[in-house]
Structures are given as structure tokens and as C-alpha cells.
Amino acid sequence: MTHTIQPNNPETTPAPEATDIPAAAPASPSAVSGVPAALKRRIPKYSDLAPLMQFKKPEFSKEARLKRASTIWELRDIAKRRTPQAPFDYTDGAAEGEITLRRAREAFLDIEFRPGILRNVSKIDLSTEILGKPSRLPVGIAPTGFTRMMQSEGEYAGSQAAEAAGIPYTLSTMGTASIEDVAAAAPNGRNWFQLYLWTDRERSLELIERAARAGNDTLMVTVDTAVAGARLRDVRNGMTIPPALTVKTVLDASYRPAWWFNFLTHEPLTFASLSRYTGTVADLINSMFDPTLTFEDLDWLRETWKGKLVVKGIQTVEDARRVVDHGADGVVLSNHGGRQLDRAPIPFHLLPEVKQAFTADNSDAAIMLDTGIMSGADIVAALALGADFTLIGRAYLYGLMAGGRAGVDRTLQILEKDMARTMALLGVSRISELTPDHVRLLNK
């Protein structure tokens, strides 16, 4: 039964009988002075101060350092302090004026979330399915080259952290750990292999066969490197593979002894999937990759590779449709992290158009996205606008440089916490509930 409680109305409530009025209490000192007792100055007692005096012993361990990082940007700050300039800039930089990278990050900032209220968000489910298999989180690790140059644990740390998190890990053709070694390091992980098609098709076929034998279920072919982008930070740093011991690098090393100790006391860097190579990154790309690559080569790959085939480097709706017509199971909307063509299209801006096109085509091809992701909120925004999955490159490398395997774990912890909080505040408890109505692009 519902009870209605009426508010007191001083105009209608009868005044109490005179006999009911209690004797007036003596006025308190604060009432007389007009200052509440709680606001009067006094000398604090030790019993008041004791609970506040909880001085902690300073902690300088790797675990404490990583725990203090609450954002990917804070991991980046740690990484910059601990990594020599050349490898840090190789990770952090982009092509020419780095306009594309800046715009990609700004794209995620120039949105407005539109939350729903009064939803049950006591439990948040971040799991999803990508390319026919489950992933505990809607994010995987993108392929990155020369990874052991950033930190000696390199691809081993990335693949093992991905395995522990229940997400896919993608090994680059230009990785510093072999296909077989990564499979052995993360035997229960979901390992993908990223392929650059060489002018030498026999060597490409050899890599494809090795990837299949090692249990990789997805081949990700990158198609936006006909030639190398103008990565000016690398040019200015005299970046070579492996890093050269010049006067500049020796001086730089004096501030980062841990990195150099690890670098010099572990196996020398090599392209584990390739033969030994010495030279600049641009020279390697320009000498090895095939500028004659066409859609016919994609047809050859589709016939050759029996697993899932994903094309990375899609930057127009038309190309997204065409690669699916040529047999791709999914696309990665990507401008190579802004490292190839400056002023290239921004994947996050392209996403709604590709989603609309695939819906119109009744295509079930997966839409993935990378470039610019620096928080879990970025990932949630991409999912809301139509992405099936996302990939992180720099974000995980910042964690790697900050603390090896533990740093990659911390990256994924930060992103997971961000995603769960953002979804709860949006009023959704699972990824399937996210829709374009949850995000508004402010500058589009």
C-alpha cells in the first residue's frame, strides 16, 4: 500500500497550544557570537593528527612505477625517460609534419558522448567475437616492426601479455622474433601474422607457410607501403637497424643505462623473419616491398592462404569494398599510424562511411580500426560508430618501453578499466548495446 506523506505547511498547520511550548534552552556561545563551533580556531590534538600522518616509504620499483601510471600518456612519459631518443622517436613519430597522427588523435577528442541513464550497469561485459573466434576485449595488438629495439623483451612481451589478456597478437614481417619463437612463447594465444608482399613471391610464400604451420589463424596483409614515408625524426636521428654507437647515441645512453644494458646483454637485433639486414628503415622498405602490388596479388593470396585474410591500410570506402570483393574477410582502416602519407584520411572519420557501405552490401566482413587510440574511451567510441574491433600499436609500445612485459600488461589494464567505466557511464553493459546514437562527431 502506498503512503502519501504531506509536507508541513506553516500556513495551514495549527500552532501548538501554549502549554506545549518547551522552555527556551540557554543560548550556546556560538549562537551568541554568530560563529559555528566547527569553524572556531583551536590547537589540534595529536589524536586528530594521527590518522592524517600516514607517510609512505618511497617506492622506486618497476611495479610501483607502472602502478602510478593511470593513462597511456603517463606510460608514454615513463617510456620517454627510459628509452634512447632514436628508438623512442621511431615509435612516437610519424611522416613529414606528423599532421596525420595529430589529426587522428584529435578525431577521438572531437566527439561528444551521449549517455543513457537509469540502466543496470552493475556488470560490464567487454568480450566480443572477431573473425570467428572470441576475444576477451575488443582490442588486439597491432603489428610493429623492430620491437626488441624499443625494449629487449619485444615481441615476446607483447604476445605473452596478449595471451594472458585473451586477445589477438599480430607479429610483423619486420619483427625481431620469429614466427616459431612467438608461437612457442605464447602457445595458448591467438597469434596472427602480418605480411608485406615482397617482389620475391617465393619468399612471401615461405613466410605464409611458416605462419600456417605455427598455428596463426589470420593473415593480415599491409598494402600502404608501396614506398617508405618520409619519417623525418628517423632521418634527423640517423636511425639505423641496429642502432649505431655514435657519439650522440653514447651520450644519450648515459641517461638510460638500463636500456643499453638490456640491449647489449641480449641476442643482437635481427629481422627474425628475414635475412640479416643493415641500413636505414627507408632503404629497407624501398628495397624489399613491391610497388607493383595490385588486386590480382590479393587474389593470389586468397587462393594461397586458407585461414582468415585481412587487408590493412584501407583509406577509402571504394577500396574497402574492392578488397572484400577480392576475398578479404576483414579490413583494417588504417593510415599506418600516420607514418606513410601525411594528410591521409583519418580512420575514425572514415569508419561510419565504411560501416554504411558494408551494411548496404549485406557484407559480414569485419571492420577493424587503428591509429590514434590512446584510451579505452577511444575504443568505445570506435565500436559505437561501427567498428567490430580495434588494434593498438604505439599505446602498447609505450607500455613496453616503460616496463617490458609488465608495462604491456599495464597498458591493457588501463584500457580495460577505461572501457568498462566509459560503458557504464554511457548506460550500456555489453558491446552489442553500443550504437551511433552514443557518439556525436563535433567537427564533422
Q: Show the beta-strand stretches assigned E in 137-224.
A: 139-141, 168-171, 190-195, 218-222
Split at pLDDT 50, 70, 90, the class of 74 is very high
Which residue from 344, 366, 371 is spatially nearest to 355, judged by alpha carbons?
366
Residues of the chain with pLDDT > 70: what percent?
Answer: 84
pLDDT at 110 over 80: yes
Which of 219-228, 249-258, 289-298 is most confident? 219-228
C-alpha cell at 431: 558491446
In this prediction, residue 276 carries a pLDDT of: 47
Contact present, 74 and 414 (Cβ < 8 Å): no
Region of poorest pLDDT, from 140-154, 225-239, 294-308, 359-373? 225-239
Task: Look at the pTM and tell me if it is higher than 0.75.
Answer: yes
pLDDT at 238 over 80: no
Split at pLDDT 50, 70, 90, the class of 316 is very high
In this prediction, residue 188 carries a pLDDT of: 96
Q: Which residues of 1-19 are buried (b: 16+ CB within 10 A; e: fewer)?
A: eeeeeeeeeeeeeeeeeee
Question: Rounded mean pLDDT of 9-21?
Answer: 53
C-alpha cell at 345: 584520411
SS3 category, 371? coil
Q: Higher pLDDT residue, 126 or 271? A: 126
DSSP 103: H
In this prediction, residue 21 carries a pLDDT of: 52
Split at pLDDT 50, 70, 90, the class of 86 is confident
In this prediction, residue 366 carries a pLDDT of: 98
DSSP 38: G
Which of 10-19, 145-154, 266-275 is most confident? 145-154
Cα pseudo-dihedral 56, 59, 63, 69, rounded to 10: 70
DSSP 53: -
Pairing verdict, β 366-369 and 389-392: parallel
C-alpha cell at 306: 586458407
In this prediction, residue 280 carries a pLDDT of: 59
Question: Rounded mean pLDDT of 252-256?
Answer: 76
H/E element, 124: none
pLDDT tens readout for residues 153-204: 999 999 999 999 999 999 999 899 999 999 999 999 999 999 988 777 888 8
336 is catalytic: yes
C-alpha cell at 204: 612471401
Q: Which of 326, 336, 349, 438 is catalytic?
A: 336
In this prediction, residue 203 carries a pLDDT of: 82
pLDDT tens readout for residues 381-418: 999 999 999 999 999 999 999 999 999 999 999 999 99
Cα pseudo-dihedral 235, 240, 241, 244, rounded to 10: -150
SS3 category, 251? helix
DSSP 153: T
Q: Which residues of 80-118 are buried (b: 16+ CB within 10 A; e: fewer)?
A: bebbbbbbbbbbbbbbbebebbebbbebbeebeeeeeee
Q: Higher pLDDT residue, 168 or 268? A: 168
The residue type at 268:
P
Region of poorest pLDDT, from 114-123, 184-193, 266-275? 266-275
Split at pLDDT 50, 70, 90, the class of 348 is very high
> SS3 helix, strand, coil % of the chain, rounded to 5?
45, 10, 40
pLDDT at 206 over 50: yes
Q: Higher pLDDT residue, 385 or 40? A: 385
Which residue from 410, 409, 378 is spatially nearest to 391, judged by alpha carbons?
378
In this prediction, residue 52 carries a pLDDT of: 75
Which residue from 442, 393, 377, 409 is spatially nearest to 165, judged by alpha carbons?
409
In this prediction, residue 282 carries a pLDDT of: 58
pLDDT at 54 over 90: no
Which residue from 409, 429, 410 is spatially nearest to 419, judged by alpha carbons?
429
Q: Higher pLDDT residue, 250 or 9? A: 250
In this prediction, residue 25 carries a pLDDT of: 56
